[in-house]
Chain A
Amino acid sequence: MSVNRREFLKIVSMSTILSLGGVVSISSLKNHVEASQISRNAKALTAKRWAMVIDMSKFTSEEDYRKCIDACHREHNVPHVTDNPKHEIKWMWTDTYEHAFPGNEDKYLSEKIKHMPFLLLCNHCENPPCVRVCPTQATFKRKSDGIVMMDMHRCIGCRFCMAGCPYGARSFNYKDPRPYLDESRENPEFPTRMKGVVEKCTLCYERLAHGLLPACVEAAKEVAAKKGITPGLIFGDLEDPNSEVRRVLNERFTVRRKPELGTGPSVYYII
């Protein structure tokens, strides 16, 4: 069978159009199939609104805090920027009472509380200002469980969220963070970042999906087990009246950071 040029071109162009269409429909089908195939891990931890209570009495040494912070920072490949404190990346850190609760300081505050290092992290606010100001929805509040998430691939690095956050919970990669990672301690399960994006604590959403508690909560458990006491970090569902956090909130007096701003922080402190 002989094909002239005109017919050949016809066949080529038609098959191109058909195959393009095919690729598009197959890929959209694939997305659809994949999306429905990803069913939640049966062990995944779920809640309507995750919250944390930090019982300060359970932390007695610098070492206790360090373990929680280390667990978090190692789990998430948080770079250890030591050469310039201005470019520090912090997901979890400590500060004194007067800086953790500015406006609540008191001249006659007990010396013990004055020098106590308070464990600080993103408050996963009920009404988060960072989500409100983000121009690309790179930071958003997950509807299912209230975690304030961060999509580092969508972030344009405008740093509006850093201006918006009244808790200083967000860090910006002023430089490439990778040289500040210790390769031997890198967690291959969690992505490393590039320069020019904002990052913060995401309550270990990736661990919750696998039925694991957040890394800091896990570390606090280990700390407590050694001392034979209950853990200092209590994690659970704020909307579930039978959850551990609700039980603690019911029994103990707790404070939150800057409640007057109306952001609704989900981290509570027992002092």
Chain B
Amino acid sequence: MLEKAIYGGRRYWVWIFCLLGIIGVGFLAYLYQFKTGLGVTGMSRDVSWGLYIGQFTFLVGVAASGVMVVLPYYLHDYKKFGRLTILGEFLAISAVIMCMLFIFVDLGQPLRVLNVILHPTPNSVMFYDMLVLSGYLFLNILIGWTVLGAERKEIAPPKWIKPFIILSIAWAPSIHTVTAFLYAGIPGRHLWLTAIMAARFLASAFAGGPALLIILALIVRKYTKFDPGKEAIQSLGKIVTYCMLINVFFLGLEFFTAFYSQIPGHMHSLVYLYAGLHGHSQLVPVMWISSILAVIAIGMLIFPQIRKNESLLAVACLATFFSLWIDKGFGLVVGGFVPNPLERITEYWPTLPETLITLAVWAIGFLVLTILYKIAVSVKEEVVFDKYGEKQIKAE
């Protein structure tokens, strides 16, 4: 099926070469980082993880969110999601690839990355994170490819794939739970030491991932002959709405626990993020943008009239996505390090090389996504659905 990726119009190739350009620039920046060391980033002795690990954390959520279309389709037989599942699975593949790349570019000694496999360490959460991420990547490639291949031949997917699908549904929450455990089990980092960390991660993932999927589905519909389905997009919109509400509720719980208990350590990071601490307030505007976007998103999503309007839904989804991207891809990681365990404040802001490398990893993700979607859409365009969106019928 791969050959379908090399037939495309002008717009397709312009887009591909733009991505390749960004990847090229980022690759040069990475060579510079590889030679000089992580000192070229904004990270420090006190803030030892930054943008890279933040992006990794956020994208694990995007990957996990694929389950939000796969689960209703396969477990509840919600046929409307039939046309979206492949888009969800392929989004998961590119998100996991980005996750792995973000971990890789964050390593001080990248050539030793195999040490994680050579010296398996069952006491380290990172070991399990590697296991669940690579397992999830394998499952999604296997399932996506098999189901799409069957569809191209216009036959039903083979029966043996079903257990893998069920496994992938159970697997998806695990990748984000394990990622939350990277943070949640660490002593002395008050912002992260919370029992609802995994729950918060899942809520934000199941809002942010589907929000991105809606935007992608709308783009696919606009530029190709394949329609992922109006009702499917609306159902996904409802998922975004509820998960975003739960996400904000969980954030509220964190605030209550910290500020009603009045335990200084628990309040410090939140105060630093949202109000500034001892004159350090670099992240305050960023976090408030995230909060305002969240309010806008929820304000738009909860009203069915607004949600039913696809252009307004797209705006609400963009707001959701960027709100969560700031919150999880940046604030959560940096906020855990500031103030440091000795209650000193070292601020963090990404540098230019760091930003270029980050953009390049995103570009690689979008390149993989574009190619996979191109293949999926090329297959899908050849088959047409009946008016219920259930059965595939031959095009006239």
Contacts and interface: CB of A to CB of B under 8 A. Distances in A.
A195 B37 contact: yes
B109 A156 contact: yes
A156 B186 contact: no
Contacts of B39: 84, 87, 174-175, 195
A254 interface: no
B30 to A, nearest CB: 14
B37 A175 contact: yes
A99 B342 contact: yes
Contacts of A164: 186-187
18 contacts: A86-B346, A100-B342, A102-B342, A103-B265, A133-B125, A134-B121, A136-B118, A156-B108, A158-B126, A162-B48, A163-B336, A167-B188, A168-B46, A172-B48, A196-B109, A197-B108, A261-B187, A263-B187
A135 B109 contact: no
Interface in B109-125: 109-110, 112-113, 115-116, 118-119, 121, 123-125
Task: Give the residue among A88, A102, A173 with the most B Cβ atoms within 10 A.
Answer: A102
Interface in B29-55: 36-39, 41, 43-46, 48-49
A135 B117 CA distance: 9
A127 B221 CA distance: 56
A175 B36 contact: yes
Given A86-B346, A129-B186, A154-B112, A159 B46 contact: no
B265 A95 contact: no
A103 B187 CA distance: 14
B108 A195 contact: yes
A157 B108 contact: yes
Band of interface residues on A: 35 or more
Given A166-B187, A175-B37, A135 B343 contact: no
A70 interface: no
Majority SS at the chain A contact face? loop
Task: Give the residue among B44, B107, B112, B344 with the most A Cβ atoms within 10 A.
Answer: B112
Given A154-B119, A158-B103, 15 more contacts: A86-B46, A103-B265, A129-B186, A133-B126, A135-B126, A136-B115, A137-B121, A155-B109, A156-B115, A157-B112, A160-B124, A166-B341, A168-B46, A173-B108, A174-B37
A66 interface: no
A165 B108 contact: no
A134 B36 CA distance: 24
A243 B263 CA distance: 39
A157 B109 contact: yes
Contacts of B89: none
B189 A163 contact: yes
A114 interface: no
Nearest to B126: A135
A6 B123 CA distance: 55
Contacts of A202: none
A197 B109 contact: yes
A132 interface: yes
B44 A163 contact: no
Contact of A135 (B37, B106, B127, B346): B127
A155 B342 contact: no
A256 interface: no
Interface in A150-189: 154-160, 162-168, 171-176
B264 to A, nearest CB: 7
A160 B342 contact: no
Contact of B45 (A99, A136, A160, A171): A171
A171 B108 CA distance: 12
A160 B46 contact: no
Contacts of B38: 157, 172, 174, 195-196
Contact of B124 (A90, A134, A166): A134
B90 interface: no
Nearest to A175: B39
Task: Give the residue among A138, A167, A195, A197 with the most B Cβ atoms within 10 A.
Answer: A195
B282 interface: no
A87 B45 contact: yes
B392 interface: no
B44 A136 contact: no
B343 A196 contact: no
B265 A158 contact: no
A21 interface: no
B322 interface: no
Given A133-B125, A135-B126, A156-B107, A176 B37 contact: yes
Contacts of A64: none
B340 interface: yes
Contacts of A156: 107-110, 112-113, 115-116
Task: Give the residue among B43, B106, B108 with the most A Cβ atoms within 10 A.
Answer: B108
A103 B264 CA distance: 8
A95 B103 CA distance: 33
A168 B340 contact: yes
Interface string B163-184: 0000000000000000000100
Interface in B313-358: 336-337, 340-344, 346
Interface in B179-210: 182, 186-189
Given A102-B342, A135-B116, A160-B124, A172 B265 contact: no
B187 A129 contact: yes
Contacts of B343: 98-99, 102
B125 A165 contact: no
A258 interface: yes
A195 B107 CA distance: 11
